[in-house]
Each structure stands twice: as C-alpha cells, then as structure tokens.
C-alpha cells in the first residue's frame, strides 16, 4: 500500500511538472515589482510620491485592499530616515477577478500603488534611502506569495528633475484613483451589524445601469455574493445583500467603490439624517 501511494505521489509530481512546463500560469512568481519615483531627488519639506509598480505576467493577478473571500492585499511596511513620514497606500480602482472558481477583488492589469512621502523641513544628508518590506499574493492557476525588501536611494536637492517613465506611470495611477467628486450619494437603510445590508444609490445615475458593482473596501460585503441593483419608483437604485460572515463589527457606515459604466466612484454609505 505504501509503495502504491509512493508511486501515485511520484506520478502526480511528474504530471504537475509536465503541466507546469506547458502552462506558465502554474509557476510563480507571476509578476515583476519595484519602487519608482517620479523625480530624481528629494527636496526638504516637499512631499514626494513613490509608487510600488506591479507588472503582472499574462493570466496573473494580485489583490486590492479588500480582496474579498480569498486573497491577500499587497502591503508595504516602511523604514524611513528620521523625520520622514509615509501615507497610506492610494489604491487604484479594483477589478473583478477569480482565484480558481472564487470571485475576488484585485488587479489583472499593471498598476502602481502610490504613497506620499513627506520629508522634514531640513535634511542634513546628501542622499536618503527609502526601504519598504513588501508582501503580496500573486495568483493564476496557482497562488504564489512573495516577500521582498525594496530600496530606493535619491539625492537631496533643491531642484529635482522628472523621471519621464516613472512620471508617466504615476500619472496613469492618479487617473485610476476612484473619483471623490461625483454626483452620487448612498444611503444606508440597514441597522449596524444587520444580517442584510441595504444601500440606496441616488443622484448622477441613469437607467439602465449596465452591470454595476459595489466593491466593499472594509469587508462588510464579500466578493462571493451576486449583486442585484433594483430601480425604485423614485429613480434611485437599491442593493440588498447578505453581510459577510467576516464583516467587521459595529460599523455605522459602508465604504467602498461603486463601478457604474466606465466610472469608479468612492462611496461612503451612511444612514439618512
């Protein structure tokens, strides 16, 4: 019996090896990743935008800040020179994708996750080095976790120059940020921690909506639930959906990104006053 199991195990390993040679989606890492800066240097007191640029190989994806039912959000833990601070990641709008048969929120396209670095008013060093411990999960037909310490050293100067390639990537990332300026308002009609979340959207929306989707940014709504937007008599749209079993507790609002048409809108659904 043991010999039979050993034979089966060897056969499976050989079979997987052959399939992996034929299908690159079965092997990692599935991406190329690195830090970029839109300028050639750092100026005292002037904020600087750095980006974690992710180039996905065909068929692979990484994950948004709330991946949904599966996945792991890409993270950055900074080690900065004294007096420097880093903002939270500014996330481009997410996409609906799949890890095997499980729907999730992530990125199949190449993206740049932006962070604002704020230098102190005075810098005595001639060069500064930014370090970030990055962790990610990159998936296709298999999933491949990655961990790497990324570094970027820049000179201190009063007249930094743009880096054309990086500047273009950062400009694209800015355009992909969910819009905060729009005419859509969301009202939360369900109680805190209710089993069913009820959201009503009104304002700059036109019927038919096409295939709208609400990406929950804090996990109150999971990625494995089908979303159906119902048009009301007053022209507004209502989404009723089960609360995720992994939902954080005690939330008085529901934040997220509403995809409607080709627009991605930053939304915070709150109870009516």
Cβ–Cβ < 8 Å for 251, 271: no
Domain end marker among 145, 175, 205: 175
Residue 170: φ, ψ to 5°: -70, -35
157 and 43 both lie in a single domain? yes
Q: What CATH number did the domain enclosing 92 receive?
A: 2.60.40.1250
pLDDT at residue 22 in the model: 66
Give the integer Cα–Cα distance in Å for 220 and 243: 6
201 and 166 both lie in a single domain? no
Give the integer Cα–Cα distance in Å for 223 and 244: 9
CA within 13 Å, CB half, 24:
8
The distance in angstroms from the start CA to the end CA of the chain is 70
Q: Is residue 139 part of a domain?
A: yes
92 and 202 both lie in a single domain? no
- The total domain count for the chain is 2
| Three-class secondary structure of residue 18 per DSSP | helix
119 and 82 both lie in a single domain? yes
| Three-class secondary structure of residue 123 per DSSP | coil
Which class for 232: exposed (0-12), middle (13-18), buried (19 or more C-beta within 10 A)? Answer: exposed
pLDDT at residue 21 in the model: 56
pLDDT at residue 23 in the model: 81
The pTM assigned to this predicted structure is 0.89
Q: What is the strand order of the sheet 111-118 is part of?
A: 31-37, 48-56, 111-118, 85-86
Domain end marker among 128, 145, 175: 175
Q: Is residue 57 part of a domain?
A: yes
pLDDT in tens, 122-137: 999 999 999 999 999 9
Q: Is residue 21 part of a domain?
A: no
pLDDT at residue 13 in the model: 39
Cβ–Cβ < 8 Å for 148, 32: no
Domain end marker among 175, 200, 217: 175
Q: Is residue 4 part of a domain?
A: no
Q: What are the structure tokens assigned to 92, written together?
A: 């481009």
Cβ–Cβ < 8 Å for 215, 94: yes
Cβ–Cβ < 8 Å for 114, 132: no
Taking every pair of Cα atoms in the chain, the longest distance, rounded to a whole number of angstroms, is 74
Domain residues for 260?
184-271
User: From first to last of its 273 residues, what are the pLDDT tens digits of the chain?
Assistant: 434 433 333 433 344 444 445 687 788 899 999 999 999 999 999 999 999 999 999 999 999 999 999 999 999 999 999 999 999 999 999 999 999 899 999 999 999 999 999 999 999 999 999 999 999 999 998 999 999 999 999 999 999 999 999 999 999 999 999 999 999 999 999 999 999 999 999 999 988 899 999 999 999 999 999 999 999 999 999 999 999 999 999 999 999 999 999 999 999 999 987
Q: What CATH number did the domain enclosing 237 receive?
A: 2.60.40
Cβ–Cβ < 8 Å for 166, 36: yes
H or E stretch covering 120: none
Q: Is residue 260 part of a domain?
A: yes
168 and 35 both lie in a single domain? yes
Q: What are the structure tokens assigned to 86, written together?
A: 């880093």
């Amino acid at each position: 019996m043991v010999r039979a199991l050993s034979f089966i195990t060897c056969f499976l390993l050989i079979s997987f090896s052959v399939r992996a040679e034929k299908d690159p989606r079965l092997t990692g890492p599935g991406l190329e990743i690195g830090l970029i800066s839109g300028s050639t240097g750092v100026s005292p007191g002037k904020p600087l935008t750095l980006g974690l640029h992710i180039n996905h190989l065909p068929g692979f994806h990484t994950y948004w800040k709330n991946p949904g039912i599966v996945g792991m959000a890409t993270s950055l833990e900074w080690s900065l020179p004294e007096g420097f601070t880093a903002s939270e990641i500014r996330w481009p709008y997410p996409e609906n994708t799949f890890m095997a048969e499980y729907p999730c929120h992530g990125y199949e396209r190449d993206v740049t996750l932006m962070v604002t670095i704020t230098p102190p008013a005075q810098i005595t060093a001639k060069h500064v080095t930014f370090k970030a411990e990055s962790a990610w999960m990159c998936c296709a037909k298999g999933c491949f976790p990655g961990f790497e310490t990324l570094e970027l050293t820049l000179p201190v100067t009063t007249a930094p120059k743009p880096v054309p390639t990086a500047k273009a990537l950062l400009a694209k990332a800015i355009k992909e940020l969910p819009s905060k300026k729009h005419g859509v308002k969301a009202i939360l009609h369900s109680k805190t921690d209710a089993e069913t979340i009820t959201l009503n959207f009104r304002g700059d929306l036109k019927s038919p909506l096409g295939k709208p989707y609400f990406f929950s940014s804090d996990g109150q709504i999971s990625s494995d639930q089908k979303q159906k937007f119902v048009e009301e008599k007053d022209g507004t749209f209502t989404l009723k959906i089960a609360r995720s079993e992994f939902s954080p507790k005690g939330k008085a609002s529901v934040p997220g990104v509403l995809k409607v048409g080709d627009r991605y809108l930053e939304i915070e659904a709150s109870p009516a006053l």
